[in-house]
Structure 1
């Protein structure tokens, strides 16, 4: 019995001691958080699509006659033309040599014929003014001059078929190998050129976007190999028809590529700017919490987490516009908000 009384006394003493210990509460714990002081900025509503960037001008030139192959020297490099060389409109890239073909054209003979007929025409005009020839005789001389001039023009055109020239400013993208002075046949591929300082891409947009996308809207174009470069473009064409199979409509985007960073054939992403808000409060999407159709965030006031209900507007991939609920200079909690409750004590990390 004595031992039982002693044991009971010890238990009561321990319970009393435990009851006198101060209990820590959640409100005494400071949760570490990071904040962002809100400033005004701009945000755009984007519609995303993808497609292949293509050169605005592209051509493959074939030989119009047979001849012996002579690749010309690029005056910019002092070496024979090669893949990747830039060329100017009218620049001679390849020359085909064929004496038999040139003799058949008889260019010099046709020049002489034109000169002779023009001299005869001058004499006939002088005689006609003096009454020495009839009007019909003078007209016949004019016909001969016209025919001689056309013969010379045709000869010049045929002779030019032996020269392969750039039809526009561009870059050599195809250049088959032929042995110098080797014979090539008519119709053989000589060179491929592209001009891609200005590019385009065909796009397909969902039916739901037809009320948003308009001609001349700006477009941001990116490629995964150019993570730090965003090219500018614009909507140039839009089809009013919806495909019954895909429920999409077609369009075309023109792309400014003055730095030639984008290459023909690249698969790119296009973000079409269909709306824009300037001087707006912008916050990261991932800090927004929701419950029962309610959107809210946490801000810091006097080391305390305060709940702010918000309404949102435009949004892009990462950010959203806040139209109500936040003010400039509010300290928005952007890290550590996951475990917070209303009026939780916080410690702002620098």
Structure 2
């Protein structure tokens, strides 16, 4: 652009105006395309435990804290958390008598087997001894099973998330809620995706998780289940995401965004989306060489939130205009600023 002065004194003075722009040298990069979805996560395992008998309630102490178990405490599978004592119930089980009866039946079976081997008893007498042993064994084991109901234990490694208050030493009834345990070092999320993505979603496909509570941390998951059926009403198919949550940064019930990695390309030309100018005859960008801006028609490929792949029209080491391109024309003279 050349500006000529109309003043007689300056009629021979010409000023060349160069448009200031910023540029970046194009280098091969990677670009990924994601399928974005949202949903609420839930625990990998959970169990609500109720009292299986009537008895005196005692909340056990957590050996790690030295105080009674409370909300948020981590527990191990099989760890005793609550005791329900009922002496009358315990006496009716007659567990010691059944233990002795089992020992007698076992000794008698061994004796009969020895006599049978020597021809001292018939096969019928041996089988009767075996039946007596089996019945005594089942009677003792059933009593042990009933006795175990007095001890409330964690069904798996997890965290106490519900613990209704009951006063120690007070009698509680059968069927009362005692606690709820969750395991959420892994989380699950149900998602419904449009049917157009069915061919792009596969088992064990990587997923990146975003939540405002964990903005500084990167959490990953994978596709663990895919339904092969399309819902005729919604035109979607159901999938299940399994999320690695070892640090327990996410909690069951949180609302999250999930980005399913659909496609990735390495060593390709990637430019900021904002530098692309869309026109009726296609998309263009500007490059600079020897102080001259040149308009380049491009063909694009994969897109992400901020960048876009250029399939044709640009090459590695081209100097792309990233600011100031709005006022450029083909062959405009430019000055490069930092």
TM class by shorter-chain length?
over 0.9
Task: Tell me the CA shift for residue 122 of structure 1.
Answer: 2.9
The 1-side partners of 2:288 and 2:234 are apart by 49
Partner of 2:189: 201
Aligned twin of 1:285? 273
- Note the C-alpha offset of 1:18: 6.2
Q: Quick one: structure 1 residues 131 and 208, their matched pair in 2 at CA, closer, same or farther if it must change by over 3 Å?
A: closer
CA distance in 2, matches of 1:98, 1:21: 113
Question: Does 2:13 correspond to 1:22?
Answer: yes
Whole-Å separation in 2 of the counterparts to 1:213 and 1:137? 66
**Residues 1:144 and 2:135 aligned together:** no
Change (3 A) 1:278 1:101: same
Structure 1 residue 121 corresponds to structure 2 residue 118: no
1:36 is the counterpart of 2:24: yes
Question: How far 1:29 moved relative to its partner?
Answer: 2.1
Residue 176 of structure 1 aligns to a residue whose secondary structure is coil
Change over 3 Å in CA distance of 1:348–1:158 after alignment to 2: same
SS at 1:74 equivalent: coil
Q: Which residue of 2 aligns with 1:12?
A: none
Count of residue pairs brought into register by the alignment: 333
2:101 is aligned with 1:110: no
Give, in angstroms, the shift of residue 90 of structure 1: 0.9
1:314 offset after TM fit, Å? 0.9
Aligned: 1:190 with 2:181:
no
Partner in structure 2 of residue 73 of structure 1: 61
Please name the residue that 1:133 is paired with. 121
Q: How has the CA–CA distance of structure 1 residues 218 and 115 changed in structure 2, closer, same or farther, with 3 Å as cutoff?
A: same
| Unmatched segments (≥5 aa) in structure 2 | 1-5
Alignment partner, residue 229 of structure 1: 217
- Using the alignment, how far apart are the partners of 1:251 and 1:76 within structure 2? 39
When Rg is computed on C-alpha atoms for both structures, the one with the higher figure is 1
Q: Distance in 1 between matches of 2:279 and 2:182?
A: 55
How far apart in 2 are the matches of 1:285 and 1:345?
24
Question: Structure 2 matches for 1:1-350, cutoff 5 A?
Answer: 17=8, 20=11, 22=13, 24=15, 28-350=16-338
Residue 127 to residue 214, structure 1, CA distance change in 2 (3 Å) = closer
Q: Which segment is superposed worse, 199-208 or 299-308?
A: 299-308
SS in structure 1 at match of 2:97: helix
Whole-Å separation in 2 of the counterparts to 1:328 and 1:66 = 78
Q: Compute the displacement of 1:69 (Å).
A: 1.3
TM-score between both structures, scaled by the size of structure 2: 0.92
SS at match of 1:136: helix
**Distance in 2 separating the partners of 1:187 and 1:126:** 49
Q: Which residue matches 1:9?
A: none
SS of the residue 2:8 aligns to: helix
Q: Provide the C-alpha distance between the structure 1 equivalents of 2:322 and 2:25, rounded to a whole number of angstroms.
A: 10
